[in-house]
Amino acid sequence: MKQGAGRLTFYVMLGMLLAIAAAESSSAQNPPPAYPSMAPLSQYLMGDRYAEIALARSAAPKAISGEATILVLSPHGYVTAVEGKNGFVCMVDRSWSAQFDFPEFWNPRLRGPTCFNPQAARSILPITKKRTELALAGQSRNQIMEGIKTALVSKQLPPLEPGAMCYMMSKQAYLNDSAGHWMPHLMFYTSVKADWGADLPGSPVVLNPQFQAGEKINVFMVPASKWSDGTPAPAM
């Protein structure tokens, strides 16, 4: 009797071990998203307002960011921390500004210092603010996408202005878990009809699929040779 019970216990334990091994194998083949949903809001906020202002300014050379308007993220959205004089607007992007299929769409560690020129401040920044409004309202990434589509249809968002671009040249940026601050670059916003030869062999231009909700905007990224502080950057 004891021997039979021992065999039964052995087979039960063996079955459990096989089930665990199968589950681990399946998990390895299909790893779950690292950031499936929004983290607590506190993880996206920067407790030091002055540190966020300095990080936002690091997006562009001082000649540009030194007189720019600076936005910081509050629990209710982006607010003006410094009034500028030159029409540029600098801020620190959070993860929900990335493309909707980005695996790190909810990564609370992402910090993307960005400095918009006047044209982008009037036509691209409103999209960022709308995404932020929806994210802080607890919307999922699919709901945010639908919210942007609705805002476009109802003309709550302005059309793209010709000449819109931004600086992302901060050495302190954290753009994703694998690339860190990546490299300094400029981003140019164009209509989808524009062809800059992006992603072709030898081309320095990279296409960023940031807008996927019907905005009809291309984002072309062009690497720069120096960080915003003037120090050399690594080759692409």
pLDDT at 212 over 80: yes
Give percent of the chain above pLDDT 70.
Answer: 86
Q: Is 227 helix (H, G, I), strand (E, B) or coil?
A: coil
Residue ranges per structural domain of the chain: 1-31, 41-223
Q: Is 56 helix (H, G, I), strand (E, B) or coil?
A: helix
What is the reported pLDDT for 56?
Answer: 98
When pLDDT is averaged across residues 102-106 and rounded to a whole number, the result is 96
Give percent of the chain above pLDDT 90.
Answer: 82
What is the reported pLDDT for 70?
Answer: 98
Nearest by Cα to 206 from 220, 186, 185, 194: 220
Q: Which residues fall within 8 angstroms of residue 166, CB to CB, at 6 or more apart?
A: 59, 114, 115, 116, 117, 120, 124, 186, 187, 189
Report yes or no: 103 and 95 within 8 Å, Cβ to Cβ: no
At 132-169, the pLDDT tens digits run 999 999 999 999 999 999 999 999 999 999 999 999 99
Estimate the crossing angle of helix 141-153 against helix 125-136, to 10 degrees. 130
When pLDDT is averaged across residues 172-179 and rounded to a whole number, the result is 92
- Residue 146 or 2, more confident: 146
